[in-house]
Structure 1
């Protein structure tokens, strides 16, 4: 079943089974003000200041991008973790777009810190602690509101932040929510059958609210794992939502101009606004 949200069609996967037709949660998209009065809620927009930052992790200097509204004041905190492509120019634009919604965003470049090239195949477990230390660096800032942050990621960054929330136990007090675009929710070093038919055991440990975005043309093996993960969280009665955008695939949030489509743009704009509302709510910043 598909419903229009403006020009964007959004599927909410309230899964009874990983491959069954999703049930649509009307409260996600219905607006009485729009339907009855013709009013559209304007998005929050802030001019953004970007600077270089760094922090220490076991004696290693971790470079990072810091983006926040230019406007004076304190804003809710978000740790943005890149995936296999690293913190390149296209991904840095996503960081800036997120800060423009009204957040202090710290984006560690863990590959540069260890002289790792883009798109590594093997997963280096030691890098997980560098992401974890990013939470400390972010929460130590004086320009953030509150004492918790949300984790925000895409691709393999979803696995790093999953480990931060669970293995490093940050979800107990310092982390309020988990947001990810087409995340890798399986150990990247796990054998092929587990990449397709299983999900990381840490998924079952998630206790914080979860919001995940994918395109309907996502790679089968990744989509299957994501859907299975959300289904498992639902069965445990946990707060987890998967939104699937028609007409787009992997990378809709950062695909460059020469290959970008109208559907990519609609999906990425809708997703980042939904993510911002989700994080503000769980960080108590509404």
Structure 2
């Protein structure tokens, strides 16, 4: 697909553009409205791909916990077998707790962890079905309150009798940036994995105690411009980290509900590395 179309969709989902302007510019790039409507389903999420049935070895539940002046809600999936497990907070993209992120939460649990997909939009009553509305609400979150709401997710998880006391997180895009912020702000965090997420301020990097795993897409110029300063600060601080740039792939390459950007080979490689880190730090 024409890289200009991918870049336009990235601008639409992250700036964001009004949908009318996005569609108008998409028509200009593709030539006709019919061509634009053919391309559009390849760009937007197809959540039918995220509707995998729950494994018989897992249990799912909707949970709530005290946030910063608000009751936070989340989607928790855990192994059915009794025991104590490492806990992983799964941090969604800028559309909220979508079916795709719930599917990722199930994948984490299948690997043997307590997995909690927090709904950051609990502040506004929860994630709406309309993705444009979700993106708008994400932009209205109070950053300080939102950070505390995520930090308190770890407090909740550690209070559960089925948690072994070890914690990690994995986030995507907006959630990747939040994973970096959680690493900065939680000295007890054991592992943080950020997929194509904005980097924290270099001055904050020495606060990081968790092991980091950073996944980036080669074609993601918007996010990648922050890599050099972040990596220099990580090296200077002696932080334990791994950083991978996956060649030839787009932002959101892990999202298998977005055909134009998903890259199966890169997604599988990055996910294997993610589970390896969790195995080394959360067992």
Structure 1 and Structure 2 fold alike (TM over 0.5): yes
- Ranges in structure 2 where 5+ consecutive residues have no aligned partner: 1-54, 128-132
Paired position in structure 1 for 2:173: 155
Identify the residue that residue 36 of structure 1 maps to in structure 2: none
- 2:124 is equivalent to residue 118 of structure 1: no
The secondary structure found in structure 1 opposite 2:76 is: strand
Pair 1:205 & 2:204 matched: no
State the match for 2:217 in structure 1.
215
Q: Please, which moves more after superposition, 175-184 or 66-75?
A: 66-75
Identify if the C-alpha distance between structure 1 residues 182 and 74 changes in structure 2 by more than 3 Å, giving closer, same or farther: same
Aligned pairs (5 A) from 1:160-171: 160-167=178-185, 170-171=186-187
CA contact (8 A) 2:190 2:209 kept: no
Q: Number of residue pairs matched? A: 220
SS in 2 for 1:72: coil
CA distance 1:48–1:272, shift in 2 (3 Å): farther
TM-score normalised by the chain length of structure 1: 0.69
SS of equivalent to 1:166: helix
Deviation at 1:131, TM superposition (A): 0.6
Whether 1:256 and 2:270 are equivalent positions in the alignment is: no
Partners of 1:68 and 1:102 within 8 A in 2: yes
Change (3 A) 1:221 1:265: same
**Greater relative CO, 1 or 2 (CA 8 Å, sep 6+):** 1
Residue 232 of structure 1 corresponds to which residue in structure 2? Answer: 233
The structure in which a higher percent of residues are helix is: 2
- Check conservation: 2:250, 2:261, Cα contact below 8 A: no
Query: Residue 51 of structure 1 aligns to a residue in which SS?
Result: strand
- Residue deviations 1:106-162 (CA, integer Å, cap 9, x gap): 1210113324742234652221111111010111111122x2201221222233333
CA 1:280–1:124 in structure 2 vs 1: closer, same or farther (change >3 Å)?
A: same
Gaps of 5+ in 1: 1-44, 187-198
| Deviations 1:231-285 (CA, angstroms, capped at 9, x unpaired) | 3202332211111222321111113164365xx12222221221111122123x2
Q: What RMSD over aligned residues (CA atoms) do the two structures have, in Å? A: 2.3
TM-score by length of 2: 0.70
